[in-house]
Amino acid sequence: MKTCKFTSLSVLILSLVCTWSVRAQHQRETERCQVKTLENSNYFENWLQTRTFKTAINTTDIYKIPIVVHVLHLGEPEGEGFNLPKEQIEAQIRILNEDFRRKEGTPGFNTHPDGGDARIEFILARTSPDGKATDGIVRIDMNQLENPEKFPSSFNFYGQYSYWDPEQYLNVWTLPDWPAETLLGMATGPVTDLPGGDRFEVSDPVDGILINAPYFGPSDIDSNYNRGRTLTHEIGHFLGLLHIWGATGCDKDDYCEDTPPQNKSHSVCPATPPLACDGRPAMIENYMNYTPDGCMNIFTKDQISRMHTVLENSPRRKSLTTSPGLEAPVTGIPDVVASAIKVFPNPVADHLNIDFGENQVLNKVSISCYTSLGKKIFTNHYDKISKRITLKMPFTAEKVLFLQLRSESLVVNRKLVLR
Ligand SMILES: [Zn+2]
């Protein structure tokens, strides 16, 4: 079996080496990806006992998700070969936002009546797990590691080298030397009660997405998968979408009424689409099909509803949308210790006290409250505060709010339960 090795993203080398692999993939209709779920891990056992699902809300709120890209390379200088240039990584994020926001004037736009704006946006993480500023990119020289195995299709394998808190970050690893004719990408699925959630494969505890490096971001490689839609597709799985053909056979569903049922995947995009099982045109342009990147441009409204339900309910998904990784860290010398700040009572009814301690003074302070979706309820500004302030809580139907206190020198986040 041939593998796809390359030392730079030049057209010449990839044309010579990768083309065979990708065409072979077409002929054999090799899995474009695999999806796995975390349902059997210990982490989720307790959560599964207490879960209470609610349906997706229908608002104009935007869900924002911070991504960390772990670039695994073979010792190339930054920007060459598997050590992907920052511009390519940023371009991949741009493509995600074009696709998930159905942005006009981009390849992610469509006029299909069943298509929609998923209202999900992605940014490269701005704050690392240890509170420092970051560009959301971690570069790992696999040659410097002690005896790394040949690159397997295992999330645990990559997680041992670089892995950020999956409650706060969507972890993406770009893989060197992954057999190009085998897979373009893999994703873990969410824990969800949505129909078809049990179709996700059982997996190990590391959560995230693996992308075969040549297919990450836009590139000039000679491939049908060179426009960055591999990650769009994998994030669809990560947020609870099945392939639109469900599984082989017309009776296998993806549980989305507005994706015509297919009995198999499609790998080409003819001008006249083949017919689906029910006589409608097959949705060859759907991101959850296996068609070339160039003709993909649609998530349907039902698919979007599934993703929103996951973002509203699922562990390691819901928490991403309020991650500290979305904001830049505060710089400066702390003038007060965050742990010294007391917020009470909690649960809270009408009034909330914030106690800063006897000798603590904070300058240029803002205090904000957000919903679990990140929608701001209010912000109060203070030039200087000390000792204690009391806030009148707003009337809201929310059960939980997130309080954020920002000063010149620190940020404090607290979760409030409302009575
Ligand atoms: Zn897939």
d(CA 211, ligand 1 centre) in Å: 12
3 in any annotated domain: no
Q: Does one domain contain both 294 and 378?
A: no
Whether omega before 345 lies within 30 degrees of 0, making that bond cis, reads yes
d(CA 222, CA 214): 10
d(CA 205, ligand 1 centre) in Å: 20
Residue finishing a domain among 266, 289, 322: 322
Q: Does one domain contain both 187 and 271?
A: yes
235 in any annotated domain: yes
86 CB-near residues (< 8 Å, 6+ apart): 78, 79, 135, 137
Q: Does one domain contain both 305 and 376?
A: no
Q: Does one domain contain both 354 and 304?
A: no
Q: Does one domain contain both 185 and 159?
A: yes
Per-residue pLDDT at 362: 75
239 in any annotated domain: yes
Low-confidence ranges of the chain (pLDDT < 50): 1-30, 39-41, 44, 47-54, 202, 333, 335
d(CA 354, ligand 1 centre) in Å: 48
Catalytic residue (choose from 234, 257, 312, 398): 234
Please count the structural domains in the chain: 2
Q: Does one domain contain both 343 and 315?
A: no
d(CA 209, ligand 1 centre) in Å: 11
d(CA 401, ligand 1 centre) in Å: 35
Q: How far is CA 78 from CA 74, 216, 238, 260, in A?
A: 11, 15, 28, 44
> 50 in helix, strand or coil?
helix
Per-residue pLDDT at 326: 96
Per-residue pLDDT at 2: 25
Catalytic (active site) residue 312: no
Q: Does one domain contain both 349 and 318?
A: no
Instruction: Please tell me the pTM assigned to this model.
Output: 0.72
d(CA 66, ligand 1 centre) in Å: 21
Residue finishing a domain among 322, 357, 389: 322
Domain containing residue 54: 11-322
Q: Does one domain contain both 180 and 271?
A: yes
31 in any annotated domain: yes
Per-residue pLDDT at 284: 96
d(CA 286, CA 115): 9
**What's 370's domain CATH number?**
2.60.40.3080
Per-residue pLDDT at 379: 79
Q: Does one domain contain both 199 and 224?
A: yes
**What's 232's domain CATH number?**
3.40.390.10
Q: Does one domain contain both 313 and 379?
A: no
> 215 in helix, strand or coil?
helix
The backbone torsions φ and ψ at residue 294, rounded to the nearest 5 degrees and listed phi first, read: -65, -25
- Helix (H) or strand (E) run with residue 313 in it: helix 301-313
